[in-house]
Amino acid sequence: MKNLAVKAKTASRALAIKTASQKNIVLKQMAKLLKNNASLIQKENKKDLINAKKNQLSGAMIDRLTLSDDRIKAMADGIIQIATLKDPVGEIIEQWEQPNKMRITKQRVPIGLVGIIFESRPNVTADAAALCLKSGNGCILRGGKEAFYSNSVIVKILQSALKDKTFDPNMISFVNKTDRALVKEMLRLEGIIDVIIPRGGKSLIKAVTEQSLIPVIKHYDGNCHIYVDKFADFKMALEICINAKTQRPGVCNAAETFLIHEGVAKKFLPLLGKELNAHKVEIRGCTQTKKILPKIKKASKDDWVMEYLDLIVAIKVVKDIDEAINHINNFGSGHSDCIVSKNKLAKNNFVERVDSAVVFANVSTRFNDGFEFGFGAEIGISTDRLHARGPVGLKELTTYKYVVEGNGQIKN
């Protein structure tokens, strides 16, 4: 593990001085090779899917693991989009001159070597590698055992693009064993790996955070909410709720809890219940919700903090927007939360007071995504407050340094 990291660190220093055009040529080659090798990727992905079914993984987990033609194309398209973005490395953040004529420049630089530990979704391999390369960072990728074959072949394809363009393939390094002891070893390589980004379930994030000697950018669970205000347009609210819950239930920006204003609950809930039933979503509701939808399950206290990642939703009737905001701030995970309302004051109140990385007004939470934000992709969606918050794209993978220039100034 240490040998792998040292080689990757050396490669990251060489990458840091590559020009934007050099990096973009490699990125375009990566995208081309992914598309050209789609059948090979799917052949290896099939091995992971067979194992997933043998191990009785949930339908949502199998969905996250599956690499269809469209998803491989999306991986390649994301890399192309990253290639079109402005290179953040060397960007002047601030510049000023002191009274003694000393010129100070604050400029973006790569973080260095990024360790990424992730589960289930093999597309993360391509997203993470491409973002790290464009931002001038080396990376060490450690995927979950459930996606081992998929991750392995994707890394080999990406590394072949580096070789073709005389880049050191160690810039994209891969832990090719599933032994968990290697993760612990990785988390102790302080001074070699500069930051750790875990992407997966709450238990993974917690374990990484507790064991790491290296700074961690956390991507905690997505207990995402949609609050349907008394001023909501019912058609819009239904479409947003159904999209956020059912379009891809196994991802972190899918909605897990609906909060319904009591002023519209009697009219809106039967409509919502009908749509949810049509999409085979299990409903767990509060006492008031169950009075209106008597056939649903009664929600427990645990349901308000659950990230189901499945076709299950919790519904609570709230007396006003204040109760909705307090519920989100008390039970939410600070990931993605939405208000549906035609009232400007209500929208502003919600946006200002909800303490989440991304707050939506009349937009599905499914748009909390690096690609949708124009970042090309993201390594994760940070729920931290320091350094990075929300989708972690190119700029979030940089730090900065000060460059001070003068003409012989000395301090008295």
pTM here is 0.84
Residue 374's pLDDT is what? 84
∠ CA 261-263-264, nearest 5°, is: 75
Do residues 129 and 102 both lie within one domain? Answer: yes
Report residue 76's pLDDT band, with 50, 70 and 90 as the boundaries: very high
Beta strands in 265-347 (DSSP E): 282-285, 297-298, 312-318, 336-340
- The answer to whether residue 411 sits within a structural domain is no
Do residues 212 and 236 both lie within one domain? Answer: no
Do residues 68 and 93 both lie within one domain? Answer: yes
Torsion angle (degrees, nearest 10) of CA 119, 123, 125, 129? -140
Where residue 338 sits, what CATH number does that domain have?
3.40.309.10
Do residues 397 and 313 both lie within one domain? Answer: no
Over 80: is that where the pLDDT of 342 sits?
A: yes
CB atoms within 10 A of CB 189: 22
Residue 370's pLDDT is what? 85
Over 80: is that where the pLDDT of 201 sits?
A: no
The residue range of the domain holding 90 is 2-219+392-405
Where residue 82 sits, what CATH number does that domain have?
3.40.605.10
Over 80: is that where the pLDDT of 261 sits?
A: yes
Q: 334 versus 165: which is more confidently predicted?
A: 334
Do residues 145 and 266 both lie within one domain? Answer: no
Do residues 151 and 60 both lie within one domain? Answer: yes
- The answer to whether residue 21 sits within a structural domain is yes
∠ CA 193-197-199, nearest 5°, is: 145
Do residues 95 and 171 both lie within one domain? Answer: yes
- The answer to whether residue 66 sits within a structural domain is yes
SS3 98: coil
Over 90: is that where the pLDDT of 328 sits?
A: yes
Do residues 128 and 244 both lie within one domain? Answer: no
Residue 27's pLDDT is what? 96
**Burial profile 288-310: b = 16 or more Cβ within 10 angstroms, e = fewer:** bbbebbeebeebeeebbebbbbb
- The answer to whether residue 175 sits within a structural domain is yes
Q: What are phi and psi of 4, to 5 degrees?
A: -60, -45
Instruction: Say how many domains are in the chain.
Output: 2
Token code pair at residue 250: 């196994």
| Contact criterion met (CB below 8 Å) for 232 and 220 | no
pLDDT-above-90 percentage for the chain: 84
pLDDT tens-digit map of 6-32 = 999 999 999 999 999 999 999 999 999
SS3 109: strand
Do residues 230 and 185 both lie within one domain? Answer: no
- The answer to whether residue 280 sits within a structural domain is yes
H helices present in 172-233, as ranges: 181-186, 202-211
As a whole number, mean pLDDT of residues 261-270 equals 98
Length in residues, the chain: 412
Residue 21's pLDDT is what? 96
Report residue 41's pLDDT band, with 50, 70 and 90 as the boundaries: very high
Over 90: is that where the pLDDT of 64 sits?
A: no
**Side-chain-side CA neighbours of residue 375 (13 Å):** 24
- The answer to whether residue 386 sits within a structural domain is no
Q: Residue type for 381, please?
A: I
CA pair distance 306, 119, nearest whole angstrom: 19
Residue 121's pLDDT is what? 85
Q: How far from 288 is each of 225, 273, 295, 302, CA to CA, in Å? A: 18, 14, 13, 17
As a whole number, mean pLDDT of residues 262-280 equals 97
- The answer to whether residue 379 sits within a structural domain is no
Residue 15's pLDDT is what? 94
Do residues 168 and 286 both lie within one domain? Answer: no
pLDDT tens-digit map of 116-141 = 999 878 999 999 999 999 999 999 99
Do residues 228 and 190 both lie within one domain? Answer: no
Do residues 130 and 95 both lie within one domain? Answer: yes
pLDDT tens-digit map of 144-197 = 999 999 999 999 999 999 987 789 999 999 999 988 899 999 999 999 999 999
